Amino acid sequence: MSQDQRSKILVVEDDAPHADFLRRTLESSGFSIEIVHLQIGEDAVRYLEQTGEYAGASRPDLVLLDLKLPVLSGHEVLGRIKANPSLRDIPIVVLTTSASPSDRELAYQQYANSVLIKSMEFVVFRKMISDVLQYWLGWNQAVVKDPVVSGQPHTAEQTLRAS
């Protein structure tokens, strides 16, 4: 598979250990991906807008966004991206530990493409990540190797139900 076929995922997560775990989970999903990790919301906005030090950054195929971020919160980042006409079609999946309905409702009101509550169980969490990738990137690439998660290839419908 060529470099061009790799899907680019922007992970916005301030908690470095958790970001590392997420990176490992994404990499083990069997998809051909390139991961960019940013800890600060402001950086994420600038990255997507390709301004400042991110002037030459390429546009990601998917953004995984944490809600609890310092300075600019996840909600603010989401709002700013979706308010920008040239960025609003980038799929943004909110990953949060918050079970608060208000958080979820606000995120959907801000046009989040999906809001997922992180599972505490390792296996379920990995399945969830795999489903997300299958749904948002599956059209673009075939599974290059057997995913760690066993089972049938995922359908969009199943992923939606999972979310």
Partner 1 sequence: MDQVIQKTRARIERYGRLHWFHWLAVVLSLFLTLGVYLTVRGQELDRADQMFQRESSRVLELIQERMQKYEDALWAGVAMHNAVGSELELQDWIDYTESIKIDKKYPGINGIGVIYSVDRDELPGFLGHQREQRPDFQVFPEHDRAELFPIVYIEPSGLNHAAIGLDIAHEQNRYAGAVRARETGQAQITGPIVLVQDEEKTPGFLFYAPFYAPIAESEKSETRSSAGVGEFQGMIYAPFVVKKLMEGALRKETRHLGIRLSDGESILYDELKAEEPDFDPDPMFSYTTTMMMYGQPWTISVHSSSSFRTINQSSKPVLILAGGLLIDSLLLYIFINFAHLNRKTLWFADRVGSELERKNAELEEFVRTASHDLKSPLCTIQGFAGLLGESVRAGDYSETEEFVGYIDRGINRMQSNIDDLLALSRAGQTPNNRVAVDPSETARKLIDDIANQLQGCGADVYIQPDMPAVLCDSLRFSQALENLVINATKYAAVEGQHLEIRIVAVALRDMVKVCVIDNGPGIASEQHERVFSLFERLVVDGEGSGVGLAIVKRICEVHGGTAGVESTPGSGAAFFMVLPKARKQKLAA
List residues near partner 1 by CB under 8 A: 14-18, 20-21, 24-25, 39-40, 68, 70-71, 73, 96-100, 103, 118, 120-123, 125-126
Min CB(27)–partner 1 separation in Å:
11
Q: Could you tell me the smallest distance in angstroms from the CB atom of residue 5 to partner 1?
A: 27
Residue closer to partner 1 by CB (options 8, 118) is: 118
CB of 137 to partner 1, least distance (A): 21
- Phi/psi at 76 (5° precision): -65, -40
Q: How far is the CB of 77 from partner 1 (least distance, A)?
A: 14
DSSP string for 92-124: EEEEES---HHHHHHHHHTT-SEEEEPPSSHHH
Unique residue bearing structure tokens 């673009």: 140
Q: Smaller CB distance to partner 1: residue 39 or 141?
A: 39
Rounded to whole angstroms, the Cα distance separating 91 from 63 reads: 6
Q: Which of 72, 75, 57, 74 is nearest to 8 (CA)?
A: 57
Nearer to partner 1, 1 or 99 (CB): 99
φ, ψ at 98 (rounded to 5°): -75, 125
Least gap, CB of 81 to partner 1 (angstroms) = 18
* Nearer of residues 16 and 156 to partner 1, judged by Cβ: 16
Question: Can you tell me whether residue 11 is helix, strand or coil?
Answer: strand
27/34 with CB nearer partner 1: 27
The answer to whether 103 touches 96, Cβ cutoff 8 Å, is yes
